[in-house]
Amino acid sequence: MSVEIEIAEDKEQVAHLAATEFVRIANESINVRKRFTVALSGGSTPRRLYELLADKTHPYLAQVDWRHAHFFWGDERCVSPDDAESNFRTAHDALLSRVPVPPQNIHRIEAERSDSDEAAQDYERYLRRFFDLTDKDFLQFDLVLLGLGTDGHTASLFPDSTALEEDTRLVVATWIAKLDARRITLTARAINHARRVVFLVVGADKSKAVRQVLTGVVRDEALMPAQLIRPEMGAPLWIIDRAAAQLL
């Protein structure tokens, strides 16, 4: 699997490299298609990226025409949007409440609904309408941001999850036994149709998973789901700090 790798000194430089790539893709997308569509990653790693993008003491805020940016999520926890665990809340507090993006451009997954399967189907229907897709088409986000778990999961595609084999749906609800929790996630096939996929990975605890995904023989992908991410439109970019890259 070909990948692009940028090794950063530390978490702060990961965030700056990611912000630079975010701005580049946003401007390219808006120039060509008059809009920029991004599926945000969950977890804690992207928080610093979100803060930098919204911080007027850094150049990024002024470099994006936020009126034409549309925000989606690669996955969401099945909690209320104001729950500290919510990926929407993380992005809202660090970024979306601090940049001039129109509220109608924020396309949240309603994962708090009691029927998460129906919520996943509704988000898929919403995506198909927004991207004007037929049943056979797959959506093309301009950018999908992803993280990596120590077990090789990405988005909410966890080892041995039923979501890994899904190759027709764009969005599924999935039970994560190890977390004793349900999640809603884009499928690998939906992610692989993005124009650009960027992984942000920080920390020595991720170094084994980074080595397996980037250099391991692509074994049973059920064990290392991030190996399923092989975008059709070009190699994914991995922005990794030295600690996470130490076994490469």
CA angle in degrees (0–180, nearest 5) for 20-230-177:
100
Q: Which residue has the tokens 């990961």?
A: 14
As measured in angstroms, the least distance from the Cβ of 168 to ligand 6PG is 22
Span interacting with ligand 6PG, options 113-121, 135-143, 150-158, 166-174, rule CB under 6 A: 150-158
Q: How many degrees, rounded to 5, is the angle at CA 71 between CA 59 and CA 157?
A: 115
Query: Using the rule CB under 6 A, is 44 a contact of ligand 6PG?
Result: yes
Options 37, 87, 161, 207; binder of ligand 6PG; rule CB under 6 A: 87
Record the tokens describing residue 235, joined without a space: 């190699």
Residue 43 interacting with ligand 6PG (CB under 6 A) = yes
86 binds ligand 6PG (CB under 6 A): no
Spatial separation of the C-alpha atoms in residues 96 and 160, rounded to whole Å = 33
Torsion of CA 43, 45, 47, 52, to 10 degrees: -160
- Report the residue from 154, 174, 212, 227 that binds ligand 6PG according to the rule CB under 6 A: 154
Q: What is the C-alpha separation between 21 and 58, in angstroms, rounded?
A: 14
Q: Applying CB under 6 A, does 48 fall inside the site for ligand 6PG?
A: no
Is 92 a residue that touches ligand 6PG (CB under 6 A)?
A: no
Binding site for ligand 6PG (CB under 6 A): 41-45, 75, 87, 147-149, 153-156
